[in-house]
Amino acid sequence: MSRAMVRRWGAAAIGLGMLAAVGCRKGAPPVERESPKPAIRSLNALDPATLGSISGQVKFAGTAPAPVQIDESSDLACGGGERFSEDYVVHEGMLANVYVYVKSGPAEAMAQGASWMDPAVLDVKGCSFVPHVVAVTVGQRIEFRNEDAAMHNVHATPSVAGNASIDIALGPKAVGQVRMFRKPEVMMPVRCGRHLWMGAFLNISPTPFFAVTNGEGKFELKGLPSGEYTLGLVHEKMGERTVRVTVKPQATAVAEITYSL
């Protein structure tokens, strides 16, 4: 075969290869790249015999401000039910929606993390965020859902460098969208751009030891290595308080704290 024929055959083969590659790209679905997961400390194996827990309650002294009724008449898709502000949720002198986390403690506790956990959920029901206060650990997924017939635009505005802001459009009965945060942060505000009365708060804990007080002001932290702890307790309006607690193996330490205006 002459050199001229070899060159012609080579050029033809290259052309066919390029056409095949273009055809494959055109028919193939786009490749979805997963967002990079943050580097999270793996959970260390600890001897259960050395672990303890903290059981606590947050009280409110005095008279709490009365809840303010929310006017949702601007959007009939919100359902029209009676809803009230959740700035101060007090029942029989006990304060709900207080974020509790380990601010400092033994090295074994502060080195803990979670490689992967089920997502926490921040839902929208009746043009209100449910729950009002959410807590997760660094790197844990948060799923934003919408059960309403109304459209919502969810905005989260972190103040800590390394946590990206969130701007999510959630259509009526939309499939949930998942996000995560890389740095610890307390009381990150969440709002809806379409319904300005809607508000919630996200908290990102540096360890898996955290809680949010329930309607009776109670919280519990389990599986703590023994030692001295400082707990941070944060309320959206009244700020942060701290309390020192000593955890002993196979025992439950008691922590109580009181807020007031």
User: What element of type H or E holds 235?
Assistant: strand 227-235
Question: Is 238 a domain residue?
Answer: yes
What residue type is 192 in one-letter code? C
Question: Is 76 a domain residue?
Answer: yes
10-residue mean pLDDT profile of the chain (261 residues): values are 46 43 41 40 71 97 93 85 91 97 94 72 95 95 94 96 95 91 96 95 95 97 96 97 97 96 89
d(CA 226, CA 51): 6
pTM value is 0.81
Q: What is the pLDDT of residue 83?
A: 87
Q: What is the pLDDT of residue 114?
A: 58
Q: What is the pLDDT of residue 169?
A: 95
Residue 163 CB neighbours (<10 A): 20
Question: Is 243 a domain residue?
Answer: yes
Q: What is the pLDDT of residues 69-82, one digit of tens each?
A: 998 888 988 877 78
- Are the C-beta atoms of residues 113 and 43 closer than 8 Å to each other? yes
Which domain CATH number covers 173?
2.60.40.420
Q: What is the pLDDT of residues 150-191, one digit of tens each?
A: 999 999 999 999 999 999 999 999 889 999 999 999 999 999
Q: What is the pLDDT of residue 60?
A: 97
Percent of the residues in the chain that have a pLDDT greater than 90, as a whole number: 70
Angle at 75 between CA 74 and CA 79, to 5 degrees: 125
Question: Is 24 a domain residue?
Answer: no
User: Nearest-CA neighbor of 127 among 162, 177, 170?
Assistant: 170
Q: What domain range is 219 assigned to?
A: 48-260
Domains held by the chain: number: 1
Question: Is 78 a domain residue?
Answer: yes
Q: What is the pLDDT of residue 25?
A: 41
Question: Is 160 a domain residue?
Answer: yes
Q: What is the pLDDT of residue 251?
A: 97
Question: Is 8 a domain residue?
Answer: no
Q: How far is CA 25 from CA 30, 31, 33, in A?
A: 9, 11, 16
Q: What is the pLDDT of residue 44?
A: 58
Question: Is 74 a domain residue?
Answer: yes
